[in-house]
Amino acid sequence: MLQIVRTVSDLRALIAERRKAGQRIAMVPTMGALHEGHLTLVDAGLAAADEVVVSLFVNPTQFAPGEDLDRYPRDEEGDRAKLETRGATILWAPVPTEMYPDGFATSVSVGGPSEGLETEHRPHFFGGVATVVTKLLLQALPDVAVFGEKDYQQLQVIRRLVTDLNIPVEVMGGPTIREADGLAMSSRNAYLSADERAAAPALREALKRAGRAVLEDSSPPQAEAAGAEHLAASGFHKVDYIAIRHADSLAAVTPHDIASGVPLRVLGAAHLGKTRLIDNLDPRSET
């Protein structure tokens, strides 16, 4: 049975009750509009704990003016049904005033892995994410929290902040779930026209090409350029970045780093029409 809570005090009371019964608690933070990618994170939570709290909050502070806050897909009824079927036990769906009451004045910011990539194109994004994720984790205090690898830079930023602030929660990454043609599932895929949808798998293909190129001796800039060229040729009209980075710190890597086997990640973000898509992969296991 999925229980729905709307206030922090109700959430804490419910979790305290479950813990008293010996239950281990996982949390999956989401902005709703749930698809198979989110539901796989619920599976991962149920594998690591007895109960899963899913939070559903479209966080206004991580959208810049002019981004898609207003048209971001919302479907709480549909989300509830999916979560119930999948075995989540608590839906934490706060009203905005419960998250940001009058006089709210605190923010969490993370350097290190948040530098570059998304931050170059969405400068306010990780400030908003870091603050709301800190709040969500401290509201629920789960044993473990699961975040999708689809938002890979976000996952590394969250790992950093949880370590740095000593938040007593274990962070787990969950795998990216893909459509049959390789497109990473995302709530924003709903924005794509039929033609854009047909072109969208080129993002993953571009990441694979960049990954193969850098493992076959191209320099990182050459390999990144090869990936970007594939996107341009496939109908993407603007490439924010294709980047080959250290998988943990997201620092740039040299050919020497690559030859010595440091963990790598290829990350990309690009625009199809009005829609911005992101994806990433491990070039040693996925190309």
The response to whether 167 counts as a known ligand-binding position is no
Q: Which of 1, 66, 106, 194 binds a copy of itself (CB under 8 A)?
A: 106
| Distance, C-alpha 25 to centroid of its chain | 20
Yes or no: say if 281 and 204 are a contact pair by the CB < 8 Å rule.
Answer: yes
Closest CA to 250 of 109, 117, 116, 113: 113
Stretch that binds a copy of itself, among 28-36, 76-84, 99-107, 183-191 (CB under 8 A): 99-107
Residue 105, interface with a copy of itself (CB under 8 A)?
yes
Residue 9, interface with a copy of itself (CB under 8 A)?
no
Q: How far apart are CA 265 and CA 245, in angstroms?
A: 5
The response to whether 248 counts as a known ligand-binding position is no
Residue 104, interface with a copy of itself (CB under 8 A)?
yes
Contacts of 20 (CB under 8 A, 6+ apart): none
Stretch that binds a copy of itself, among 59-67, 160-168, 181-189, 228-236 (CB under 8 A): 160-168
Bridge partners of 195, per DSSP, are none
Angle between helices 8-20 and 125-140 (to 10 degrees): 50
Contacts of 232 (CB under 8 A, 6+ apart): 239
Task: Report CA-CA distances (Å) from 123 to 63, 204, 224.
Answer: 10, 24, 22
Q: Which of 78, 96, 123, 168 binds a copy of itself (CB under 8 A)?
A: 168
Helix (H, G, I), strand (E, B) or coil at 177: coil
Residue 101, interface with a copy of itself (CB under 8 A)?
yes
**Which amino acid makes up residue 51?**
E
Closest CA to 245 of 196, 216, 281, 199: 281
Contacts (CB under 8 A) with a copy of itself, residues 123-142: 130-131, 134-135, 138-139, 141
Contact map string, positions 23 to 42, toward a copy of itself, x by CB under 8 A: --------------------
Q: Which is nearer to a copy of itself, 78 or 263 (CB)?
A: 263
Q: Which of 58, 167, 199, 226 binds a copy of itself (CB under 8 A)?
A: 167
Tracing tokens 């030859």 back to the chain, one arrives at 259
Helix (H) or strand (E) holding 118: helix 118-121
- Residue 38 among the catalytic residues: yes
Q: How many residues bind a copy of itself (CB under 8 A)?
A: 31
Q: Which is nearer to a copy of itself, 112 or 273 (CB)?
A: 112
Smallest gap from Cβ 163 to a copy of itself, in A, equals: 8
Smallest gap from Cβ 280 to a copy of itself, in A, equals: 20
Q: Which residues are at the interface with a copy of itself (CB under 8 A)? A: 8, 12, 101, 103-114, 130-131, 134-135, 138-139, 141, 160-161, 163-168, 249
Active site residues: 38
